[in-house]
Chain A
Amino acid sequence: MPRVLLIEDDPSVREGVELGLRRRGHTVRTAPTGEAGLAALGEFRPDLVLLDLMLPGMNGVQVCHRVRETSQLPIIMLTARGDDFDVVIGLEAGADDYIVKPARTEVIEARIRAVLRRIEEPSGGRPGIEFHGELAIDRAGLTVAKAGERLALAPSEMKLLLHLSAAPEQVFSRQQLLEHVWEHSYHGDARLVDACVRRLRNKIEDVPGEPRYIQTLRGFGYRFGPL
Chain B
Amino acid sequence: MRACPAPAEDAGPRRARRRRAPRPHPFGLRTRLVLAFLLVAAVGCGTTAALTYRAARNAILEQTQNTAVSALRDQVDPLRIDLPVQTGTLRDALLSIARQGKPRPWRVYAEYGSLRVSSTDRPTSSVITPELRARALGRGTTPHSSFQRVVKDGTPYLTVAVPAVFRTHATQGTAQPTGLVFYAVMELDEEEANIEAMVAAARDGALPALAVALIPALLAARGVLRPVRELRRAARSMGRGRLDTRIHAKGSDELADLARTFNESAAELERSVAELRRAEARARRFAADVSHELRTPLAGMLAVTEVLDEDAGTLDSDTARAVRLISAETGRLAVLVEDLMEISRFDARAAELHSDEVDAADCVRKTLQNRHWTDPARVVADLSEGIRARLDPRRFDVVVANLVGNALRHGGAPVTVRVYAEGDTLVTEVADQGPGIHPDVLPHVFDRFYKADPARTRSAGSGLGLAITLENVRLHGGTVEAANRPGGGAVFTVRMPR
Contacts and interface: CB of A to CB of B under 8 A. Distances in A.
Query: Are chains A and B touching in the complex at the 8 Å CB cutoff?
Result: yes
Nearest to A24: B306
A108 B352 contact: no
B71 interface: no
Contacts of B334: 102
18 contacts: A10-B299, A16-B301, A16-B304, A17-B303, A19-B307, A20-B306, A81-B342, A102-B299, A102-B301, A102-B303, A104-B302, A105-B306, A106-B306, A175-B356, A185-B397, A187-B366, A187-B393, A219-B388
Contacts of A58: none
Contacts of A190: 354, 356, 393
A4 to B, nearest CB: 13
A104 B341 contact: no
Interface string A1-21: 000000000111111110110
A82 B341 contact: yes
B296 interface: yes
B300 A15 contact: yes
A204 B449 CA distance: 52
A174 B367 CA distance: 16
Interface in A155-209: 173-175, 185-191
Contacts of A23: 306-307, 310
Interface in B327-361: 331, 334, 337-338, 341-342, 345, 350, 352, 354, 356-358
B302 A103 contact: yes
Contacts of A103: 299, 302-303
A54 to B, nearest CB: 10
The 10 closest A-B pairs by CB, nearest first: A12-B300, A16-B303, A16-B300, A186-B366, A102-B299, A187-B397, A101-B299, A102-B302, A219-B357, A102-B298
B370 interface: yes
Contacts of B150: none
**Max count, chain B CB within 10 A of own CB: residue among A23, A186, A220:** A186
B394 interface: yes
A151 interface: no
B203 interface: no
Contacts of B296: 10, 12-13, 101
Interface string B369-408: 0100000000000000000101001101100000000000
Nearest to A14: B300
B363 interface: yes
Contact of A104 (B303, B338, B356): B303
B363 A186 contact: yes
Nearest to B398: A187
B350 to A, nearest CB: 7
B292 interface: yes
A80 B337 CA distance: 12
A185 B367 CA distance: 9
Interface residues of B, number: 39
Contacts of B295: 80, 101-102
A84 interface: yes
Contacts of A185: 366, 370, 397
Contacts of A174: 356
A93 B258 CA distance: 62
A187 B350 contact: no
Given A13-B296, A175-B393, A187-B363, A82 B350 contact: yes
B305 interface: yes
Interface string A48-90: 0000000000000000000000000000000011101000000
Contact of A189 (B298, B305, B354): B354
Contacts of B363: 186-187
Contacts of B370: 185-187
Interface in B279-321: 292, 295-307, 310
B245 to A, nearest CB: 35
Given A102-B298, A175-B358, A175-B393, A13 B341 contact: no
Contacts of A82: 292, 341, 345, 350
Given A81-B338, A103-B299, 20 more contacts: A19-B303, A19-B307, A20-B303, A23-B306, A23-B307, A23-B310, A82-B350, A101-B295, A102-B337, A103-B302, A105-B304, A105-B306, A173-B356, A175-B366, A185-B366, A186-B363, A186-B366, A187-B396, A191-B354, A220-B357
B297 A12 contact: yes
A190 B396 CA distance: 14
Nearest to B388: A219
Contacts of B307: 19-20, 23, 105
B393 A16 contact: no
B396 to A, nearest CB: 8
Given A10-B300, A81-B341, A173-B358, A104 B306 contact: yes
B284 to A, nearest CB: 13
Contacts of A16: 299-304
Contacts of B341: 81-82
Contacts of B396: 187
A185 B297 CA distance: 26
